[in-house]
Amino acid sequence: MRYLPKSESERREMLEACGVDSAEALFAHLPPEVRLTRPLALEPGKSEYEIVEYFRARGAENAAGYASFLGAGVYFHYRPVLVDAITSRAEFLTSYTPYQAEISQGTLTSIFEFQTMLCQLTGMEVANASMYDGSTGVAEAAMMAARSTSKRRLVVARTLHPEYRAVLETYARRQGLEVAEFGYLAGSGGLDLEDLESKLNDQTAAVILQSPNFFGVVENLKTAAEMAHRSGALLIDVFTEAVSLGLLAPPVEADIVAGELQSFAIPPSFGGPFAGVIASKERFIRQLPGRLVGETKDSRGNRAFCLTLATREQHIRREKATSNICTNQALIALMATVFMTVYGKQGLRELAEQNLAKAHYLAGRLPRRFSGPFFNEFVATTGGRSSETINQALREGKIIGGLPLARFYPELDDCMLLCATEMSTRAAMDTVAEAFHCG
Amino acid sequence: MAETIRKVRPHVNQNEPLLFELSSPGKKGYQLPGLDVPPVDAAGALGAENVRAEIEDFPEVSEVEAIRHFTRLSTWNYAIDLGMYPLGSCTMKYNPRVNEEVARVEGLAWAHPYQPESLAQGALEIMARLEAALAEITGMEAVTLQPAAGAHGELTGILVARAYLEWRGNPRKKILIPDSAHGTNPATAAIAGYEVENIRSCERGMLDVESLARIVNEDVAALMVTNPNTLGAFEENIRQIGEILHAKGALLYMDGANMNALVGITRPGDNGVDVMHLNLHKTFSTPHGGGGPGSGPVAVKSHLEPFLPAPRLKRVGGQWAFDYDRPHSIGRVRAFYGNFGVLVRALAYILAQGGEGLRNATLDAVLNANYIRQALMPYYEMPHQAPSMHECVFSDARQAKRGVRTMDIAKRLIDYGFHPYTVSFPLIVHGAMMIEPTETESKRELDLFIEALISIAREVEENPELVLKAPHNTRTSRVDEVTAARKPVVRWLRQAQR
Amino acid sequence: MSAYPESYWYTKEHEWVHVEGEIGTVGITLHAQEQLGDIVYVELPKVGAHVQQGKTLGSVESVKAVSDVYAPVSGEVIEVNESLAEMPETLNQDPHGAAWLVRVRLSAPEELGQLLTASDYQSYLVEEP
């Protein structure tokens, strides 16, 4: 068995040292009634070749080789080859959480850089070492706001990703937090500020909104922030398309920013693993969940990094911990860090500009539902044809169309959400436009 | 020192500044293809107030500097591919490389969670097969792959337990947690809205069944047990424990962190466990990656199945589909379906091992831990005498008489070329040294580890300063965690901004 | 000359209170800060908050541990030691003096009867495992 590095003679030596004549004897103290008395009903071990073939076959049953116009929280962006070259290095891939700073400076240094770059992108003052994903990041940010303000009400935009709202609901219910939703304007697709105002009261801990929102519409945070703060609530801004930060004004009016970094060279991978992030103003630093890396010196006076403010975390505070999170998504965050490094200050902007151009080209050829400004996603009406008919036609040409919105927004059952990125070709976009206008 | 340490020798390694210190305007590490559509003026399309100025201080480096930067950083890390991590309850086993290969298959790595189900059958088949394999391994009846990590799985499991009890009429108030439990357990219980009541372990280090029987009443929702416990000892009364809880309508939750001692030998589901979580990044070989991603599937008995997160997998007309019609579900614990990329790796591991291979891995894991235990017993105090399974726990009691503690011994172990064991945990052992080798360590590596700890025990007697000031040979010596916590600096700033 | 001032009252959770008239100055003892190690952060209530004897009034953190601080007496917080925010290390240097935590206007002076004298506290420290 290739993962067990012992020969029979070595095993025998070790068993002798332990004073037993078989490994089975080491389990003799287990009461007989707890023992499994048959082999596990699993196929025998396979060769490497068979394993690769199995997964290749499964991959072929998926949509390999299709162009796609899906967005809705998971985006197709080109992955620079440096990302896998670096994250495949054994010292990153097979290393442990950096609790022992002396032998983890590689991980700790890159996380410190990650935290810094997230602050630079979002305009916040502190950022943690990443969360499981954007959806749990939002839930944690909400709990952070409730703790900081000692209030129990959350006012949430309907244009926050539907699955993020579902996760928030699960966490909030458990914490005894009340969730009220406010709507969007039928014309622009942006925040209905009047509705927001009507939902605020002095028990509101936070207003939570997304920009660009689920419909792709770019929101202006200024008024929402003013309303929230006047009520004594915090503003939590959420992003699902990280590339938008290359071009859009950073959400400096927010108190907490939560988001998803999947766009930064993290494979879509049928929904995970991803990396969320929480960033905030400095005064919330002790309320931040998850890991934080801080700068310090070692005993010889050299700059060094270490995990810090661990007392917020589960292994010390136990039932008083700010969260039960025990991980960051270190390897995934590293992918994002390498991506941000490869593109850099100019590249991120150029990448974002290309996304803007592609999506606006496609949108120009389709009937748009909302008039608000958008980045790389927008909602189109399907008119006489149904979303299903259009998408089926596109599939014949190996194109996956947009997301029909009926499943999340019944009032928009004649609409679909489309995303175009730097990977979308003009030819494919023209085919999509034709599919909309035929018949 | 060169004669006594066989595993490592000092070596010159590169210094490297931060990206921001390498950065210079105009350096580029990328090139985008030209646009095949007309460019769009950002201010015109978005409104000038929605467009940012440049990303201040964001780095600009070339591709060469980028790869050199991260490569140099990587050489400052220890890793499984370099040597053993004896960390207790972490199960730092070999991360098979074929797992990495299959996770990158195009149709899997580029699958969008919202692509039509007819074009996602490969992904759904993988998930279904893994669910079935994990159910067989644990003896449970239904599995969810949604939680993103062990702690996330714990929370999911407790929320499911709560929903079930609520449906039965009373969610109850308390969760019982042994004082030997991992810190995520009480944190999870608190987030799920329960009070935590700690139960003391008896002097053999196991759960005291008589105390348990006295404490369990209709206010208790569940007991969270880790089996084997964090001392590496099998909870021999596990069936009785389940019976006591079930008699009062309470549930038995098992933290599956130590599954590596049980696979193929005994199944939690056969022994009274109602709900448990697994750690794919422990027992099932997926890489830790410096701290994540993990995956924490939850396995339940059929009475809890209706409450699992939605969606669940179902078979419709010969195809896999997602079932969202789950009226009793606790809802979602994260967007989409789970850490699919991690699930692929875990399934690859299970396929490679097969049933017999998984069982053999368990046998070797327990053999390795016992081999270490018998070799070190003459030198280190073992506070609890119960038989060890896949991990053993010593204490620093003998060395403490010379003023040397577990943390110091751990730091000196670094000079010998090893990552430290788990320091000061479990809390019920004062000065704990918790050691779990896993089955993927060779006899040679184990002998070097034993040799190192024996040598350190000698150093404690003859030259304690050497141990107290360790590590000596690393490029970074002990760091000042106190200043890092008093005056946290969690981002780089330009000199002028500090 | 004892490390523990005679005029202070002490609790089994290692807090002290020094009463002058109806005002009590509260802190943690030398023993407490020794157990905690280097203090990195102190969490204190706001002026105007009401504290209750035996209930948490705040916490003290070192790198590896957090310890709740329990109020030795009930009353209204009238002053908070702001200097500890900048210099938590004062707690290690002068826990019985400069590193006082809060000043409280006692609402139930009879509670002092439940506390330990300096010599009782020191005996208690010796007995404690």
All domains in chain C, ordered by first residue: 9-112 (2.40.50.100)
Fold of domain A81-338 = Aspartate Aminotransferase; domain 2 (3.40.640)
CATH of domain B98-351: 3.40.640.10
Minimal Cα–Cα distance from B462 to chain A, Å?
Answer: 24
* Token pair for B210: 């008589």
Mean pLDDT estimate for chain B: 95
pLDDT(A176) > 90: no
* pLDDT given for residue A147 in this prediction: 87
Q: Are the Cβ atoms of B265 and A80 closer than 8 angstroms? A: no
Q: Which of A104, A5, A4, C38 is nearest to B79 (CA)?
A: A104
The CATH 3.90.1150.10 domain(s) of chain B lie at 360-483
pLDDT at C62: 84
User: Per residue in B418-474, pLDDT tens?
Assistant: 999 999 888 788 899 999 999 999 999 999 999 999 999 999 999 999 999 999 999
A51·B333 Cβ contact <8 A: no
C66–A311 CB contact, under 8 Å = yes
Distance (Å, whole) CA B471 – CA B484: 20
- Look at C41 and B482 and tell me if their CB atoms are within 8 Å: no
> Mean pLDDT in chain A?
94
pLDDT band with cut points at 50, 70 and 90 for residue A79: very high
Q: Taking a contact as any Cβ pair under 8 Å apart, which residues of chain C between 40 and 79 contact chain A?
A: 40-41, 61-66
The CA distance from A308 to the nearest CA of chain C, in Å, is 8
SS3 content of chain C, % helix, strand, coil (to 5): 25, 35, 40
Mean pLDDT, residues B368-397 taken together: 95
Instruction: Give how far B486 is from chain C: nearest CA, Å.
Output: 5
CA distance A99 to chain C (A): 12
| B51 against A147, higher pLDDT | B51
- How far is residue B421's CA from residue A7's CA, in Å, rounded to a whole number? 26
Interface partners of B (3+ CB pairs, < 8 Å)?
A, C
Check residue A439 and give its pLDDT: 44
Distance set, CA A152 to CA A140, A145, A178, A204, A280 (Å): 14, 9, 6, 7, 20
Model confidence at B364, pLDDT cuts 50, 70, 90, reads: very high
For residue C67, the model assigns a pLDDT of 83
CATH 3.40.640.10 domain span(s) along chain B: 98-351
pLDDT of residue B2: 44
Query: Nearest residue of B to residue C63 by CA position?
Result: B482
* pLDDT bucket at B96, cuts 50 / 70 / 90: very high
Greatest distance between any 2 Cα atoms in chain C: 38
CB contact under 8 A, B485 and C63: yes
Nearest CA in chain C to A309: C63
Query: C66 and A286 in contact by Cβ < 8 A?
Result: no
- Architecture per CATH, B360-483: Alpha-Beta Complex (3.90)
Residues 6 or more apart whose CB falls under 8 angstroms from that of B230 comprise B88, B89, B180, B181, B182, B258, B393, B425, B426, B434
Written out in words, the top-level CATH class of the domain with range A67-79+344-437 is: alpha beta
3-class secondary-structure state, position B138: helix
Contact B366 A247 (CB under 8 A): no
Residue B314: its H or E element: strand B312-316
Put simply, the chain A residues between 138 and 157 with a CB less than 8 A from any chain B CB are none
A274-295: per-residue pLDDT in tens? Answer: 999 999 999 999 888 888 999 9
Over residues A19-30, mean pLDDT: 96
How many residue pairs from chains A and C have C-beta atoms closer than 8 A?
16
B130 touches A: beta carbon within 8 Å: no
Per-residue pLDDT at C81:
95
What is this structure's pTM? 0.94
* Three-state SS annotation for chain A: CCCCCCCHHHHHHHHHHHCCCCHHHHHCCCCHHHECCCCCCCCECCCHHHHHHHHHHHHHCECCCCEECCCCCCCCCCCCHHHHHHHCCHHHHCCCCCCCHHHEHHHHHHHHHHHHHHHHHHCCCEECCCECCHHHHHHHHHHHHHHHHCCCEEEEECCCCHHHHHHHHHHHHHHCCEEEEECECCCCCCECHHHHHHHCCCCEEEEEEECCCCCCECCCHHHHHHHHHHCCCEEEEEECCHHHHHCECCCCCCCEEEEECCCCCCCCHHHCCCCEEEEECHHHHHHCCCCCEEEEEECCCCEEEEECCHHHCHHHHHHHCCCCCCCCCHHHHHHHHHHHHHHHHHHHHHHHHHHHHHHHHHHHCCCECCCCCECCEEEEECCCCCHHHHHHHHHHCCEECCEEHHHCCHHHCCEEEEECCCCCCHHHHHHHHHHHHCC
B490/A127 CB distance under 8 A: yes
What are the chain C neighbours of A286 within 8 Å (beta carbons)? 41
Which pLDDT belongs to residue A311? 62
* Range in A303-317, B83-97, B191-205, B269-283 with the lowest mean pLDDT: A303-317
Structure confidence by residue, pLDDT tens digits, C59-68: 898 877 778 8
Å from C35 to nearest chain B CA?
Answer: 14
What is the per-residue pLDDT across A295-315, written as a single tens digit (0 to 9) for each?
999 999 999 999 998 766 555
Domain boundaries, chain A: 67-79+344-437, 81-338
